[in-house]
Amino acid sequence: MADRDRHREATALAVVHDFIAAWNANDMDRVLALLDENVRYHNMPVAPLDGRRAVAEYLASKGGFDWINWRLLAIAVDGDRVLTERVDDFSIGGVEVSLPIMGTFEIQDGRIRAWRDYFDMDTYRRQLGKPAH
Amino acid sequence: MADRDRHREATALAVVHDFIAAWNANDMDRVLALLDENVRYHNMPVAPLDGRRAVAEYLASKGGFDWINWRLLAIAVDGDRVLTERVDDFSIGGVEVSLPIMGTFEIQDGRIRAWRDYFDMDTYRRQLGKPAH
């Protein structure tokens, strides 16, 4: 692999590690700063959000997390794409959630241009005490 | 990266590419041959299956696929771990399914020792025309 490619992959990995650290610090300003202005954020079971502003509004609508602890089980990079396997533990509105999840991040110019998370929505909703539909 | 590590990652990637090819050939003998005898296969929303025999019985219980076409969107390796982002298209009992999914494969001695797939169960069940619960 050429030095240029190695550097590109190291940068992509660093962005995702920074992003996870920002979540775990519960620092939504840092989280948003790592997103490209035109990011597409797609929680696969629901419709995608387009743009940093849409993500900011979505996060604000959640009313904030009590604490966040994303546990990274595996991470691997191919070019600008970083694939992660995680358990996202967090507390929201006093309710604790532990969610097995995988996510792909596409990096462009040091920011996240696309983010797709794959998980079982019912596993999430059951912990929130909400009905499945 | 040392040559030994590069070789290990190339082998791990090759096993997963072979595995996907075996699925897409709808060749369950080849699929099973690529699993370690003590594989743990975990579709995350449900309980894991332990051992190649348990996976064989599970697949047999499905009654066979009409056709299978796993589309690989992204693949990346870190040591013995291969992370994939896919759309698994297939037909079973005359019903066509298209499932966004990510999976992690842990390779040991040229076979798959662990396989974890992450997807939204309701997205799958709705296409089968089955109720969510």
List the single residue in A76, A116, A120 with the smallest CB-CB distance to B119: A120
Q: Residue A116: its chain B contacts at CB < 8 A?
A: 85
The answer for B 29-68 residues in CB contact with A (under 8 A) is 44-45
B58: nearest Cα among B129, B133, B117: B117
Interface ipTM > 0.85: yes
> What is the secondary structure of chain A as a DSSP string?
--HHHHHHHHHHHHHHHHHHHHHHTT-HHHHHHTEEEEEEEEETTS--EESHHHHHHHHHHHT--SEEEEEEEEEEEETTEEEEEEEEEEEETTEEEEEEEEEEEEEETTEEEEEEEE--HHHHHHHHT----
pLDDT band at A2 (very low <50, low <70, confident <90, very high): confident
pLDDT-above-70 percentage for chain B:
98
Residues of B in contact with A74 (CB under 8 A): 78, 81, 83, 104
DSSP state of B50: E
| Closest alpha carbon within chain B to A77 | B76
Domain ranges of chain B: 3-128
Known active-site residue B3: no
State the fold for domain A3-128. Answer: Nuclear Transport Factor 2; Chain: A, (3.10.450)
Option in A45, A74, A133 nearest B81 (CB): A74
Can you give the pLDDT at residue A132? 53
Read off the amino acid at residue A50: D
* Residue B131, pLDDT score: 60
Question: Residue B26: what pLDDT?
Answer: 98
Model pTM above 0.90 = yes
Q: Which two tokens stand for residue A52?
A: 């940093």
pLDDT (tens digit per residue) in A76-101: 999 999 999 999 999 999 999 999 99
